[in-house]
Copies of this chain bind each other. A is one copy, B any other.
Amino acid sequence: MVGTLGTPPAPAALAAKVRTLAPSMTRSMQRVAEAVAGDPAGCAALTVTGLAELTGTSEATVVRTARLLGYPGYRDLRLALAGLAAQQQSGRAPAITTDIAVDDPIADVVAKLAYDEQQTLADTAAGLDTVQLGAAVTALVAARRTDVYGVGASGLVAQDLTQKLLRIGLMAHAHSDPHLAVTNAVQLRAGDVAIAITHSGSTGDVIEPLRVAFERGATTVAITGRPDGPVTQYADHVLTTSTARESELRPAAMSSRTGQLLVVDCLFVGVAQRTYETAAPALSASYEALAHRHRP
């Protein structure tokens, strides 16, 4: 299997893609990717050779990077870059973020966190493959039952998805316990759906049940920040989340969660649309049922 696939020559989501793929890049490729993400307009004006010199690498590396980013070659990356530059030009001024520091006043913390999460949402939305998403929705609608796997922070996202799906009448279960997850995965069969949520894409506790489900013939979906991670091996559909950069005070769990939740919401709304006849009454019913638990 080649580095990346299923990645359409994205127009706007380039910076996001650079960030998601950076971990799987070599040093030289990272330099190239960085240059490209940092100054799309400038790089669009350069030939392979020029960009290679600028980044202190070789033409081959530039081409390899372009490939990794999802383009057939440098030529196409360059076209995308030109488009991006034009967009930026006509668009708004770029907002600058510095990292959160230990001595940042609380107001700055709020602003930076909000900005980062907004960025994560925008990037994830831009980088989300709607075809894969649609396919996942279709599978969910038809599924006899749906299992969702996630541990740690992703476990909460799994629960969130499950709660939502249950509300509109789907048979969904979230599993945080790896053992139970696997034992339940064995019950799945063709037509059922298994969803694994893992930011790193390499969480064994989540991959294992997905593998089992995959081998049992269930339709498998991975929601991950690493479209090249091991988890995708057993995923029929991969939904990629983008993440803001992380730091000491801003652990991975935090930024990944935002993107994952967006994807989960999209799945939910997609399913609700397709099953509107039953979903709409179910939603208002659950709303009614809770009403009496609210004080006047």
Contact = CB atoms under 8 A, between A and B. Distances in A.
A79 B74 CA distance: 13
Contacts of A180: none
Contacts of A109: 266, 269-270, 273
Contacts of A202: 294-296
Contacts of A124: 114
A262 to B, nearest CB: 6
A51 to B, nearest CB: 14
A207 B113 contact: no
Contacts of A280: 248
Nearest to A292: B204
Given A258-B261, A272-B249, A114 B125 contact: yes
Main DSSP-derived SS at the A contact region = helix
Interface in A83-132: 83-87, 89-91, 100, 102-107, 109-111, 113-114, 117-118, 121-122, 124-125, 128, 130
A11 interface: yes
A269 B249 contact: yes
Interface in A260-287: 261-262, 265-266, 268-270, 272-273, 276, 280, 283-284, 287
Given A205-B293, A249-B269, A257-B160, A106 B137 contact: yes
A186 interface: no
A251 interface: yes
Interface in A1-33: 11-12
Nearest to A254: B265
Given A86-B84, A121-B118, A273 B163 contact: no
A121 B207 CA distance: 32
A56 B202 CA distance: 53
Contact of A113 (B79, B91, B266, B284): B266
Contact of A110 (B45, B266, B272): B266
A175 interface: no
Nearest to A107: B130
A179 interface: no
7 contacts: A83-B87, A86-B87, A106-B137, A118-B122, A167-B251, A202-B294, A251-B283
Interface in A173-192: none
Contact of A44 (B79, B113, B117, B159): B79
A80 interface: yes
B294 A204 contact: yes
Given A202-B294, A293-B204, A156 B160 contact: yes
Nearest to A157: B156
Given A83-B85, A102-B276, A202-B294, 15 more contacts: A11-B89, A44-B79, A79-B79, A82-B82, A90-B91, A105-B130, A106-B134, A109-B270, A109-B273, A114-B121, A114-B122, A114-B124, A153-B160, A156-B156, A204-B295
